[in-house]
Amino acid sequence: MPDYEMFELGDLALQSGATLRNAKLAYKTYGTLNADKSNVIVYPTWYSGQHYDNEWLIGEGMALDPQKYFIIIPNMLGNGLSSSPSNTPQPYNKARFPNVTFYDNVRAQHQLVTEKFGIEKIALVVGWSMGAGQTYQWAVSYPDMVERILPFCGSAKTSLHNIVFLEGVKAALQADVAWKGGWYDEPPTTGLRAVGRVYAGWGLSQAYYREKVYLQQGYSSLEDFLVEFWEGFFLKKDANNLLTMLWTWQNGNIGNTPGFDGDFEKALAAIKAKAIVMPAEMDLYFPPEDNEYEVKLMPNAEFCAIKSVWGHFAGGGVNPVDTQFIDETLKALLAS
Amino acid sequence: MPDYEMFELGDLALQSGATLRNAKLAYKTYGTLNADKSNVIVYPTWYSGQHYDNEWLIGEGMALDPQKYFIIIPNMLGNGLSSSPSNTPQPYNKARFPNVTFYDNVRAQHQLVTEKFGIEKIALVVGWSMGAGQTYQWAVSYPDMVERILPFCGSAKTSLHNIVFLEGVKAALQADVAWKGGWYDEPPTTGLRAVGRVYAGWGLSQAYYREKVYLQQGYSSLEDFLVEFWEGFFLKKDANNLLTMLWTWQNGNIGNTPGFDGDFEKALAAIKAKAIVMPAEMDLYFPPEDNEYEVKLMPNAEFCAIKSVWGHFAGGGVNPVDTQFIDETLKALLAS
């Protein structure tokens, strides 16, 4: 028995021009929708994460309290549960799965939220990393619907340096001949392991490694951390799914929302939601500087950085101090 | 006609236990050794660099003035000119080329400097990146011989984060089946290109990409920079040579000098040379924090960072502002 629901999107026409027929959006909800439908939180997933990977931020007494809020976690297209290269029937399967944007993802999520639940207002959209990308997109696509946003460790437009980091990830995966241009039957494990090793230096900060925090986490050595956590993490993923989401990430830009004609700054200025934008201080691919720029152009936004040696993973729910900081900031935002 | 000389090292016994028979050290000199042999500068090479790649810091009127100094550039073992996987006859050829340490490199360079030239004092050792690693090693291996050092954008002990970054580089290269465990006849070009893409995000800072400095350098786009510079750079290199130098780099630690029993701090404290330690502020794999720690433990050292958006490549001789800063600091050190 799966622990999630499946929403039938019908034929999903994408920004790229392709149409995903009988597209599916996997989601899970927590708590109960109240009578006036005013207690809704949408909490999108991150690069290769699935709904259960978000649950660390949900709990009784926490900001995202299911006793109080109706929390919807929609799985990102390409993540292996919603329509993805790995689960789409031919002809749009595997290497032929189309390019998907944050805009496409959020349009599908909007369909779920409105058609399935009849929701008209969302109290909060919140997300980590690519989840943050979807969070900004919600605020731009549906400015009159979204009351608050808290994107953490992400950006409204993927920076050029971030694009380059992802080029390294992609090249390492595609260097494996077993990838076969996406037409593999057996997973390209050498490439997936290489992705893990490339990612390892980016995901955490220099200080995290300097302080050997991985030992506190229970890994027996640096090599154990690289094999058990990083290689193990990506070996569980489908290569084409990773490449689909990587394309979404590299092409993240709220300026590409219809009506903004690629104008990133105009799209930032159009955000009506009250926002707290939260980078992690030592994040190597979503550095705080990019968020500082965004906040200057957003009409109702505050900048609030996580002070942590965990780099990007400050927002990954793996350490209680950073989790508490995020939770308390969410509480303050929801109370406002 | 080669523009360099070859010094016969004889049988070079390495820290790993292997012996490189008829080992060779390629080098080039600039200027004239004066009568009392007091005008010597040693300037080792960096990861895959060869002697001519160092020449940007040498010139009339510069600190490294051949009218004044006798400058020796020794090529690092594994760099394709000195003994390397690509030029060593069997049985120690290709994948069987032994592991080489900074200590081994500097011992070979010391042999050149003393046996070939009869030099007893070195006014300055200076180097970028892995050249900095050799610079620290000179000061620890031969404390009574080296009067001054200026390691820039490097470290006396390779940090754990730096090791992880290099794991990503290595995994991307080795993911290419054409690498054949090092026994290739044709170069593994897919892996070499992947190395270029992985390296691209590390070599320069987030700010470098944010400001699109590559356009000022004459690249027509981000993709052009990735193909022409980064892929082009590594396609010219031999894969086994890269892996040999990568091992040297990952295992950099002056504490492993005989007599120090792995004690990094003790080795730092044993440096007698007057030192200026110069990181680049936005260097992603040799961050200033590691140098700050070193300088505290070195008896006669000063910390002086390059303020630049160029990241690690602030020390690569590609932009005149940073080059001038390095040159002026070298002048001050040599005058002291």
A331/B contact by beta carbon, under 8 A = no
Across A301-307, average pLDDT: 98
- The C-alpha atoms of residue B192 and residue B172 are separated, in whole angstroms, by 8
Per-residue model confidence (pLDDT) at position A330: 98
For residue B306, what are the β-bridge partners?
Answer: B280
Question: Which chain A residue has its CA at the smallest distance from B191's CA?
Answer: A175
Percent of chain A scoring above 90 in pLDDT: 99
Q: If contacts are CB pairs under 8 Å, which of residues 278-297 in chain A contact chain B? A: 284-285, 287, 289-290
What is the set of active-site residues of A?
129, 283, 312
Model pLDDT for residues A232-263, shown as the tens digit of each residue: 999 999 999 999 999 999 999 999 999 999 99
Residue A34: helix, strand or coil by DSSP?
Answer: coil
B177 contacts chain A (CB < 8 A): yes
How close B159 gets to chain A, by Cα (Å)? Answer: 7
pLDDT, tens digit, 9 for 90 and up, residues B217-267: 999 999 999 999 999 999 999 999 999 999 999 999 999 999 999 999 999
Position B1 scores a pLDDT of: 82
Å between A154 CA and nearest CA of chain B: 15
When pLDDT is averaged across residues A304-319 and rounded to a whole number, the result is 97
Is residue A302 predicted with pLDDT exceeding 90?
Answer: yes
With an 8 Å Cβ cutoff, are B175 and A170 in contact? no
Counting beta carbons within 10 angstroms of the beta carbon of residue A122, is it exposed (0 to 12), middle (13 to 18) or buried (19 or more)?
Answer: buried
Ordered by start, the domain boundaries in chain A are: 5-159+252-335, 162-245
The answer to whether the CB atoms of A168 and B164 lie below 8 A apart is: no
Q: What is the mean pLDDT of residues A298-324?
A: 97
Distance CA B158, CA B136 (A): 12
Residue B22 has a pLDDT of 97
- What CATH architecture applies to the domain B5-159+251-335? 3-Layer(aba) Sandwich (3.40)
Q: Could A206 and B175 be called an inter-chain contact, meaning their C-beta atoms sit closer than 8 Å?
A: no
Question: Model confidence at A1, in pLDDT bands (50, 70, 90)?
Answer: confident
Q: Which stretches of B40-113 are DSSP H helices?
A: 102-111
* B161 is a catalytic site residue: no
State the nearest Cα–Cα gap between A147 and chain B, in angstroms: 31
3-state DSSP: chain B helix, strand, coil percent, rounded to 5?
45, 15, 40
What is the per-residue pLDDT across B253-306, written as a single tens digit (0 to 9) for each?
999 999 999 999 999 999 999 999 999 999 999 999 999 999 999 999 999 999
Q: How far is CA A319 from CA A19, A48, A184, A315, A322, in A?
A: 41, 20, 37, 9, 6
A5-159+252-335: which CATH topology? Answer: Rossmann fold (3.40.50)
| Residue B312 annotated to the active site | yes
Contact list, B209 vs chain A (CB under 8 Å): 159-161, 164
Averaged pLDDT, A260-273: 98
A153-169 pLDDT, tens digit per residue, is 999 999 999 999 999 99
Q: Over the stretch B163-221, which tens digit does the pLDDT of each residue have?
A: 999 999 999 999 999 999 999 999 999 999 999 999 999 999 999 999 999 999 999 99
Partner residues linked to A125 by β-bridges: A42, A149
Q: Is A159 on the interface with B (CB under 8 A)?
A: yes
CB contacts < 8 Å between A and B, how many?
126
Please tell me the distance from the alpha carbon of residue B287 to that of residue B321, in angstroms, as a whole number: 20
Q: Does the structure's ipTM exceed the value 0.90?
A: yes
| Residue to substitute from B163, B170, B193, B206, interface A, most A β-carbons within 10 A | B206
Contact B284 A287 (CB under 8 A): no
Partner residue opposite B209 with nearest CB, options A159, A194, A284: A159
- Catalytically annotated residue among B65, B312, B322, B327: B312
State how far the Cα of A233 lies from the Cα of A82, in Å rounded to an integer: 19
- pLDDT tens readout for residues B39-89: 999 999 999 999 999 999 999 999 999 999 999 999 999 999 999 999 999
The pLDDT tens digits of the residues spanning B91-129 come to 999 999 999 999 999 999 999 999 999 999 999 999 999
**What share of chain A in percent tops pLDDT 70?**
100
Please indicate whether, in this complex, the C-beta atoms of A198 and B226 are within 8 angstroms of each other.
no
Rounded to the nearest angstrom, the minimum Cα separation between A113 and chain B is 36
In this structure, which CATH number among 3.50.50, 2.40.10, 1.10.1740, 1.20.58 belongs to the domain B162-245? 1.10.1740
Cα–Cα dist A139/A267, whole Å: 9
A148 pLDDT above the threshold of 90: yes
